[in-house]
């Protein structure tokens, strides 16, 4: 006879462990509940819960399930304290057969909905010499005792589920931290935009007006001065005029009113012409059909283009730059490509510069991503993809 047959219990534990390992982390609570549910018939119980308690004996969270026709434990809020939890925290196992009123106060029975229970077990779970929490089983009928083997198995199940519970909660706290960082970065960018808008307005309303006036005055001076100083007066006039023009362009690029008035493509074209004009770079563009896009997206793409082109001017020694933007299959791609010397450094390792980092952050805030590549034979490419672009249509 084969004495080494795999028992039902072993098969059950192997199965639940596999599922906990294979499942997406976000689905772990569902697998914990289904593990508890599928163990109930084995243990002949009608209700099971897994409870997590913190160092200072307060309730931190729980999952509870019940067989059809029964109700799960009423969930109490985080931070809850009770004599019941104190007993688990003290490492005391409660293995009781008989009316629940014999072990708990009426108040506690009502609080978590334990009326009608005729046998109850709570087994503390220890992790690294500390009580992690406990696993509880309740019977509403057929209480034919709790065998030591059953108690041992319930404890094992509790330990397996507790490990996954921890994994899930650690993952959740990372997700939350990521969300906080994301919202911080969004907030910083919004502040930056507000300041740029204020500065742009100041340049436009104050300095530009004063320069315009100065241009007229310089022209008047040109009209009245002696012939011998006219070339200098003319030069002065032209210089002031040029500064006024540059300041207007700067004011526009600080806050692109054009984005709102003429749309993304016109604003991108104008900014690309302005920046490449600075170094007389050849500019090639391929702009596809882009429907009106939401303000946040347009502004971010505009800022990405600005930073990328400023990098081309600053670092690339390129003679030409190519910009393309298009939408295919509900996905927007923006590419800025130059024929310069490229960059041999590891672009993923920040050296304290924030241009590429902020390009990536902007793309990620829009649900997309940024890729930077620099082939061996030179050149540099910034490639932005934003999926589900239809959600960003005006």
- Which residues are near Mg ion by CB under 5 A? 311, 355
Which CB, 200 or 374, lies closer to ligand ADP?
374
Element (H, E) at 12: helix 8-22
Q: Minimum CB separation from ligand ADP for residue 276, in Å?
A: 13
Q: Rounded to an integer, what distance in angstroms lies between the CA atom of residue 240 and that of residue 251?
A: 16
Which CB, 153 or 274, lies closer to ligand ADP?
274
Which CB, 68 or 352, lies closer to ligand ADP?
352
Q: Rounded to an integer, what distance in angstroms lies between the CA atom of residue 171 and that of residue 239?
A: 61
Residue nearest to ligand ADP (CB): 355
Interface size with ligand ADP, residues (CB under 6 A): 15
Sign of CA dihedral 125, 130, 132, 134: positive
Q: Minimum CB separation from ligand ADP for residue 361, in Å?
A: 11
Q: Minimum CB separation from ligand ADP for residue 342, in Å?
A: 5
For 52-90, letters b (16+ CB in 10 Å) and e give bbeeeeebbbbbbbbeeebebbeeeeeebebebbebbbe
Residue 322 structure tokens: 């190519």
Q: Minimum CB separation from ligand ADP for residue 338, in Å?
A: 5
- Contacted by 90, from Mg ion, ligand ADP, none: CB < 5 to 8 Å by type: none
Q: Rounded to an integer, what distance in angstroms lies between the CA atom of residue 117 and that of residue 121?
A: 11
Which CB, 148 or 375, lies closer to ligand ADP?
375
Interface with ligand ADP, residue 272, by CB under 6 A: no
Distances (CA, A) of 171 to 83, 166, 265: 30, 8, 41
Q: Minimum CB separation from Mg ion for residue 193, in Å?
A: 18
Contact (CB, 8 A) for 346 and 365:
no
- Contacted by 340, from ligand ADP, Mg ion, none: CB < 5 to 8 Å by type: ligand ADP
Contact (CB, 8 A) for 333 and 326:
yes
- Our CA angle for 218, 273, 264, nearest 5°, is 115
Distances (CA, A) of 390 to 122, 330, 332, 335, 386: 53, 6, 9, 19, 10
Which CB, 50 or 312, lies closer to ligand ADP?
312
Binding string to ligand ADP for residues 308 to 347, with x set by CB under 6 A, is what?
---xx-xxx---------------------x-x-xx-x--
How is the beta sheet containing 380-386 ordered, strand by strand? Answer: 282-287, 320-328, 331-338, 380-386, 369-373
Binding string to ligand ADP for residues 355 to 394, with x set by CB under 6 A, is what?
xx-----------------------x--------------
Residue 392 structure tokens: 């960003």
Which CB, 66 or 318, lies closer to ligand ADP?
318
Which CB, 150 or 321, lies closer to ligand ADP?
321
Q: Which residues bind ligand ADP (CB under 6 A)?
A: 311-312, 314-316, 338, 340, 342-343, 345, 353-356, 380
């Amino acid at each position: 006879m084969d004495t080494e047959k795999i028992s039902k219990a072993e098969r059950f534990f192997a199965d639940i462990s596999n599922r906990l390992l294979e499942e997406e982390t976000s689905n772990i609570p569902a697998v914990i509940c289904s593990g508890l549910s599928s163990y109930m018939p084995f243990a002949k119980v009608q209700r099971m819960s897994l409870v997590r308690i913190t160092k200072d004996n307060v309730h931190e969270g729980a999952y509870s399930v019940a067989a059809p026709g029964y109700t799960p434990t009423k969930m109490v809020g985080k931070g809850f304290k009770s004599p019941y939890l104190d007993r688990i925290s003290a490492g005391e196992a409660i293995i009781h057969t008989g009316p629940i009123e014999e072990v708990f106060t009426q108040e506690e029975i009502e609080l978590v909905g334990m009326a009608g229970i005729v046998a109850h077990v709570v087994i503390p779970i220890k992790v690294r010499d500390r009580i992690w929490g406990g696993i509880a089983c309740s019977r509403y009928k057929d209480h034919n005792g709790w065998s030591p083997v059953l108690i041992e198995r319930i404890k094992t199940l509790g330990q397996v589920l507790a490990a996954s519970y921890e994994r899930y909660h650690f993952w959740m706290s990372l997700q939350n931290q990521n969300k906080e960082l994301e919202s911080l970065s969004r907030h910083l960018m919004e502040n930056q935009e507000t300041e740029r808008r204020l500065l742009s307005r100041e340049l436009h309303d104050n300095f530009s007006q004063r320069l315009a006036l100065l241009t007229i005055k310089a022209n008047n001076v040109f009209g009245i001065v002696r012939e011998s100083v006219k070339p200098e007066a003319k030069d002065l006039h032209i210089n002031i005029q040029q500064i006024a023009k540059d300041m207007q362009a700067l004011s526009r690029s600080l806050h692109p009113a054009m984005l709102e008035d003429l749309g993304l493509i016109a604003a991108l074209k104008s900014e690309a012409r302005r920046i490449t004009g600075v170094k007389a770079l050849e500019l090639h563009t391929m702009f596809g059909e882009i429907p009106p896009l939401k303000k946040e997206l347009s502004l971010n793409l505009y800022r990405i283009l600005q930073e990328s082109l400023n990098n081309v001017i600053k670092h690339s020694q390129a003679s030409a730059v190519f910009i393309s933007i298009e939408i295919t299959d509900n996905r927007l791609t923006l590419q800025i490509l130059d024929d310069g010397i490229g960059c041999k450094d590891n672009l993923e390792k920040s050296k304290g510069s924030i241009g590429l980092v902020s390009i990536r952050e902007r793309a990620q805030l829009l649900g997309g991503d940024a890729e930077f590549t620099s082939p061996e034979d030179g050149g540099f490419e910034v490639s932005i993809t934003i999926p589900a672009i239809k959600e960003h249509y005006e």
